[in-house]
Structure 1
Amino acid sequence: MTTLNMLFLVMALLLFVSVIASRLSARLGMPLLLAFLGVGMLAGEEGFGIQFSNYNIANLVSQLALAIILLDGGLRTQFETFRIALKPALVLASWGVLASVGLLGLFATFYLGADWKMALLMAAIVGSTDAAAVFSLLRNSGVRLNARIQATLELESGLNDPMAILLVSVLIGMIMQPAETTLASTLLMLLKQMGLGLLFGVAAGHALAHLLAKIKLAEGLYAIMIASGGLLVFAVSNLFEGSGFLAVYLVGVFVGNLRNAATQHVLNVMDGLAWLAQAVMFLVLGLLVTPSSLLGQGAHALVIAAFLIFVARPLAVYTAIKWFHYSGKELAYISWVGLRGAVPITLAIMPLMNGIPQAQLLFDVAFAVVILSLLIQGTTIPFLARKLGMVLPPKPEPLDSREIWLGNHLSVGLQSFQVAPNSQAENSHPYAMTRLNDFADARLFALIRHNETITVNMTTQMQAGDVVWYVLPQSKADEFATQFADVRKHQDEQQFYGEFVVKPDAKVGELAFAYGLKLGDDMDATRSLASVFRERFGDVPVAGDRILIGDFQITVKELDEHSYIKWLGLKIPNKKQK
């Protein structure tokens, strides 16, 4: 009993310290995942002396944690994300991984003087991006990214695990059982991984989503049902040699996109489970490694990480998605956010479990590459996004959003807004915000000032800092929020989108005539601006997409609920304004 309690004490203390350390990590601008890794390493045998070298348990914990993280990521992935970036993400998750591994393996063969199979195995271990790192760092970066860029990166990280696992498994087979590892067996393994993962994920996702819509449970049980259902599909897919990671991610996608009373209120619970999974996984992985081993391979890892970050990943991205309407700056940013995290470390455990010669070297190098990736790339995600112009102006949005479900498919939305100084709402009556026709169905629910509810009468005026709750559909919340935002921030929008607003059905010729634009020979004056954007960006434009007509910039400013362009911003160059 004493031993069991000591285990509980150590694990709880490590988790508690990791959470506290995450606050310091955030203030220093470091990825939170590094805090969990750091605490694990500090508690290890060269720190506080906890000796842990059970790779089977570490692999079990990592697999379970990654399944929970991918399930949570899928729950927050809208079908619209697939419409925006599925094709380029699939190419990145397949050819992009192959190209990265091939280039890095070739480099490592000559740099390390290693056998080409071992060099390729090392490259395959660190060749794929990590969903835990990408989901965590992108969604907590504090910047609003172009939707196409974010969708591409998140989908790539959620879909590329099967290719990475396949490559590692094949290369282990080539080293340990070369006679049995043939091209035919490799292709069969790929078909099984992708095909069965897709089949189980889609079928089980549909089934679980519809079951949740019909079954009546206590509120606290829905999250358990979703988590257990996702893990069940993960295990079944793996048993049939399919990709459990792909399957569990797709289950999350289908469940998360079926809005009903069962799914909407569990996201916070699943978020907590995902954070717990990340913390435990990185703690356990941190316990596995010793700092002296990392330092011993530090020089090699630095060179390998540098080649991966600055050469292999950019070339792989360029050859994979150059043809999908991405600009040079967008390609550069996607290349940079090729984050490595728990997946490479988990893959590095496989050679150790299979008795591969020099497996410990592979593990130490992979671990060091992950740390360098998080330090170099992870800490610079917001900075580089601003530097490359990937950041959109902050969009006014509700302070908080709740849904009250009146039935399985009937809900009432509650949105809260904080009154900013110099906003339209300041010194206005709460009912005045609902006078526009678009907001005629909004209803005041509560006015809160200094943490107390204020009785609203005919003379009530809102003050800066007040929080106001309205019954309002989620689809109208962002537009409604503009009335509560500081009007001076509108200048930031003007600087990005331009001084004028243009309708997408406006003809190019009409615009040219109105503003004195000179059209090139390749520009048809009878075409609408919307058709020009469709030709340039395909059928899925996003806010921030931009074209040039002469020296004039025309930028997608807002989309409607069907993802069609609603408004365009027109930016006139300074020389034209004089």
Structure 2
Amino acid sequence: MASLDSVSIAIFLGAILVMAGILSSLLALRFGAPLLLVFLLIGMLAGDAGPGQLSFDDVRTTYLVGSVALALILFDGGLRTKFQSIRTVLAPSMVLATIGVLVTALVTAPAAKYVLDLNWTESLLVGAVVASTDAAAVFLLVHTQGLRLRPRVGATLEAESGTNDPFAIFLTLMLVEFISIGESSPAHVAIELARGGLLGAVVGVIGGRLMVLTLNRMALPQGLHAPFVTTAALVIFGAAQILQASGFLAVYLAGIILGNRPTRAHNSVVTFLDAATWLAQIVMFVLLGLLASPQRLLDSVAPAVVVALVLMLAARPLAVLLCLAPFRFNWREKVFIAWTGLRGAVAIFLASIPMLVGLSKAYLYFDVAFVVVVISLLLQGWTLAPAARWLHVALPRADRGPRRVELDLPGQLEQQLVGYPVRAKSLYFRRGLTPSWSKPTLVIRDERILSPAEADPIEAGDYIYLLAPPEKAEALDRFFVEMPPSTAPDPHLLGDFMVSGEHTLGELAEVYGVAIGDDQAKMTLSDYFDIHLDHAPKEGAELTLDPIVLVARNISGGRVNVVGLRLPEDEEKVIPVTRWQAFKRKLAEIWSSVAGV
């Protein structure tokens, strides 16, 4: 009976932990990545050195759970990454994910050797363990906290954090093998790196395409799409690992392919993975906390703090400056990317590998990584938003989006139903605006279902459903969010809403149906102002981009970095023109009248 009671207690405590994880997602919106440290603390308190007195030293189980959790986290990150957004930053991200990790490890190694009294190989292993940024921490801060970074900076950080784990894992495994066997060769390292990277990429691409094909061709029962995708991601990860390839790279690429193709039940898959990855992080942090020993941590905390400071203040900044030197990043962007070298569960997970294979001083690697992660999440995690504002790499924060309902339509993949509550201060209610690619389909009012014609005029409190392409559904949010009151005499003088000046005309055309030439698709809005304004840009300067007007909202370094979009109230309404264009038209009218006389 005692064994049955212990099982019941385990089920009870496990359910309490899962419930706490679900409720903690509300706090994550406010506190961000440092909240995960609470679960590290819970694990330590539940361990044999804490009040819980739970004896746990199963490194193999921790490694297994950590592998599954990281695979899901990376897959979810790839699923949310739009290739169009990272295409322009692919080169700098890949350099940071490979050369940046190596430089970080090399610069950290001397500090580890000096303060931890290790040889050079062991010191380099310490550097490799803590060299990669953590995808979970970066994704959590950028997405969950709602921090709006400039597109190039945000895309670089997300692409780097999603792709540098495979190289850090490879570097760690090579060093562990060298310490264990005592020999290795450059040819062996090159072969392993090529096999891990290239074969992992092949498995990821093929696996992602097969997932897309299966989702769209097979009629899975309702509700099974998300579990199927999650399981398929783990199958891809396991298959790559069995083939001695990088499973983490494979699963990340599979997520990117799935996220950039039209598929059934896309929104339910994303919602399910949100919950799965959050719970996976919690379980991983608790298990890592169980493995930690407060007594051991006290012995190594001082040298570990030195390693953490060298990593954050020297190794990471130097790696970023070297890797981004060939690319067009200004000093503010480089400083911010250097400061966003968040370390998370990946570092502690990598530190469990020496424990798994039984290396000498294995617990030292684990304890140092543990302290580095705690300091990184506390110091860098809580200062990330102020740093973004101070360095001017954050855009003005938008109001939290409206509650959006998305429904897949059987039999096709091009359109879905997107529903919103109509708010009194929303752009749609005030001016009746929606993009040209969306079509109002039905309205719910007082529990009655009406057609748009029957519901005209729309009232505040109605629920409206529109047909829209799945990949553009999120762009509808801004038309239904509450618009803040304006102190300007003309409430929409500076545009109905704002976008970054680094967005391209092609992206604007895709969302709003703007007619542009093929040669203009890659031109940024900032460049468009530079080319078409006859004077230095000032706040309030306007340019027409059929059928909308671009308004300069914020100027930095002589360039427009925030642009307001003023949308036409009616498609047949005359398009506003710039002051310079109006002045030239007036001169033309005067000249015509004089010439006529």
TM bucket (normalised to shorter chain) is 0.7 to 0.9
- Given that residues 161 and 245 in structure 1 are in contact (C-alpha distance below 8 angstroms), is that contact kept between their aligned partners in structure 2? yes
CA deviation string 1:335-361 (max 9, x = no partner): 111111111111111111222111111
CA apart distance, 1:283: 1.2
Provide the secondary structure at the position in 2 that maps to 1:442: strand
CA apart distance, 1:460: 6.1
Give the corresponding residue for 1:511.
533
Cα separation, 2, equivalents of 1:458 and 1:13: 47
Where do 1:311-350 residues align within 5 Å?
311-350=314-353
Give the corresponding residue for 1:433.
432
Give the corresponding residue for 1:70.
74
- Given that residues 498 and 562 in structure 2 are in contact (C-alpha distance below 8 angstroms), is that contact kept between their aligned partners in structure 1? no
Give the residue type in structure 1 aligned to 2:127.
A
Provide the secondary structure at the position in 2 that maps to 1:219: coil
CA apart distance, 1:399: 3.4
Q: 1:177 aligns with which of 165, 175, 181?
A: 181
The alpha-carbon distance between structure 1 residues 113 and 257, as it changes in their structure 2 partners (threshold 3 A), is same
Is residue 2:136 matched to residue 1:132? yes
Provide the secondary structure at the position in 2 that maps to 1:305: helix
Is residue 2:282 matched to residue 1:248? no
Is residue 2:117 matched to residue 1:119? no
Is residue 2:195 matched to residue 1:192? yes
Give the corresponding residue for 1:160.
164
Q: 2:440 aligns with which of 439, 442, 452?
A: 442
Give the corresponding residue for 1:79.
83
Give the corresponding residue for 1:60.
64
Cα separation, 1, equivalents of 2:566 and 2:176: 48
Give the stretch that moved more between structures: 371-380 or 2-11.
2-11
- Given that residues 130 and 342 in structure 1 are in contact (C-alpha distance below 8 angstroms), is that contact kept between their aligned partners in structure 2? yes
CA apart distance, 1:417: 4.6
Is residue 2:49 matched to residue 1:46? yes
Where do 1:555-566 residues align within 5 Å?
555=562
The alpha-carbon distance between structure 1 residues 113 and 70, as it changes in their structure 2 partners (threshold 3 A), is same
Cα separation, 2, equivalents of 1:242 and 1:131: 20
Q: 2:465 aligns with which of 461, 464, 470?
A: 470
Give the residue type in structure 2 aligned to 1:217.
L
Give the residue type in structure 2 aligned to 1:336.
W
- Given that residues 320 and 334 in structure 2 are in contact (C-alpha distance below 8 angstroms), is that contact kept between their aligned partners in structure 1? yes
CA apart distance, 1:377: 1.0
Cα separation, 2, equivalents of 1:116 and 1:469: 65
CA deviation string 1:69-115 (max 9, x = no partner): 11222221212133132111100100000000000012222333321
Cα separation, 2, equivalents of 1:131 and 1:468: 37
The alpha-carbon distance between structure 1 residues 19 and 37, as it changes in their structure 2 partners (threshold 3 A), is farther
Give the corresponding residue for 2:385.
382
- Given that residues 414 and 470 in structure 1 are in contact (C-alpha distance below 8 angstroms), is that contact kept between their aligned partners in structure 2? yes
Cα separation, 1, equivalents of 2:209 and 2:498: 45
The alpha-carbon distance between structure 1 residues 28 and 214, as it changes in their structure 2 partners (threshold 3 A), is closer
Cα separation, 1, equivalents of 2:26 and 2:225: 30
Give the stretch that moved more between structures: 76-85 or 330-339.
76-85
CA deviation string 1:217-253 (max 9, x = no partner): 1022212221221111111111111000011111111
CA deviation string 1:186-220 (max 9, x = no partner): 11110111011101001111122112110111022
Give the residue type in structure 2 aligned to 1:433.
G
Give the stretch that moved more between structures: 97-106 or 480-489.
480-489
Q: 2:206 aligns with which of 191, 196, 203?
A: 203
Give the corresponding residue for 1:416.
420
The alpha-carbon distance between structure 1 residues 262 and 413, as it changes in their structure 2 partners (threshold 3 A), is closer
CA apart distance, 1:383: 1.8
- Given that residues 101 and 123 in structure 1 are in contact (C-alpha distance below 8 angstroms), is that contact kept between their aligned partners in structure 2? yes
Where do 1:269-348 residues align within 5 Å?
269-348=272-351
Give the stretch that moved more between structures: 197-206 or 28-37.
28-37
- Given that residues 22 and 32 in structure 1 are in contact (C-alpha distance below 8 angstroms), is that contact kept between their aligned partners in structure 2? no
Give the corresponding residue for 1:229.
232
The alpha-carbon distance between structure 1 residues 509 and 200, as it changes in their structure 2 partners (threshold 3 A), is closer
- Given that residues 417 and 484 in structure 1 are in contact (C-alpha distance below 8 angstroms), is that contact kept between their aligned partners in structure 2? no
Give the corresponding residue for 1:392.
395
Is residue 2:369 matched to residue 1:370? no
- Given that residues 499 and 564 in structure 2 are in contact (C-alpha distance below 8 angstroms), is that contact kept between their aligned partners in structure 1? no
Provide the secondary structure at the position in 2 that maps to 1:470: strand
- Given that residues 194 and 242 in structure 1 are in contact (C-alpha distance below 8 angstroms), is that contact kept between their aligned partners in structure 2? yes
- Given that residues 424 and 487 in structure 1 are in contact (C-alpha distance below 8 angstroms), is that contact kept between their aligned partners in structure 2? no
CA apart distance, 1:39: 1.5
**What's the TM-score once normalised by structure 2's chain length?**
0.79
Give the corresponding residue for 1:406.
410
Provide the secondary structure at the position in 2 that maps to 1:265: helix
Where do 1:449-460 residues align within 5 Å?
none
Provide the secondary structure at the position in 2 that maps to 1:142: coil
Cα separation, 2, equivalents of 1:329 and 1:91: 19
Give the corresponding residue for 1:520.
none
The alpha-carbon distance between structure 1 residues 209 and 307, as it changes in their structure 2 partners (threshold 3 A), is same
Provide the secondary structure at the position in 1 that maps to 2:432: helix
The alpha-carbon distance between structure 1 residues 126 and 509, as it changes in their structure 2 partners (threshold 3 A), is closer
- Given that residues 103 and 319 in structure 2 are in contact (C-alpha distance below 8 angstroms), is that contact kept between their aligned partners in structure 1? yes
The alpha-carbon distance between structure 1 residues 417 and 189, as it changes in their structure 2 partners (threshold 3 A), is same
Is residue 2:8 matched to residue 1:5? yes
CA apart distance, 1:514: 9.1
Cα separation, 2, equivalents of 1:18 and 1:483: 31
Provide the secondary structure at the position in 2 that maps to 1:416: strand
Consecutive unaligned residues of structure 1, counting only runs of 5 or more, are 517-527, 531-542, 561-569, 571-578
CA apart distance, 1:459: 8.9
CA deviation string 1:508-547 (max 9, x = no partner): 576225979xxxxxxxxxxx999xxxxxxxxxxxx99988
Where do 1:80-119 residues align within 5 Å?
80-119=84-123
Cα separation, 2, equivalents of 1:70 and 1:369: 22
- Given that residues 18 and 279 in structure 1 are in contact (C-alpha distance below 8 angstroms), is that contact kept between their aligned partners in structure 2? yes
Provide the secondary structure at the position in 2 that maps to 1:338: coil
Give the residue type in structure 2 aligned to 1:31.
P
Cα separation, 2, equivalents of 1:437 and 1:121: 53
CA apart distance, 1:57: 0.9
Cα separation, 2, equivalents of 1:209 and 1:325: 36
The alpha-carbon distance between structure 1 residues 102 and 415, as it changes in their structure 2 partners (threshold 3 A), is same
The alpha-carbon distance between structure 1 residues 507 and 29, as it changes in their structure 2 partners (threshold 3 A), is closer
Cα separation, 2, equivalents of 1:66 and 1:302: 25
Cα separation, 2, equivalents of 1:559 and 1:259: 30
Identity %: 35
CA apart distance, 1:9: 2.3
Provide the secondary structure at the position in 2 that maps to 1:351: helix
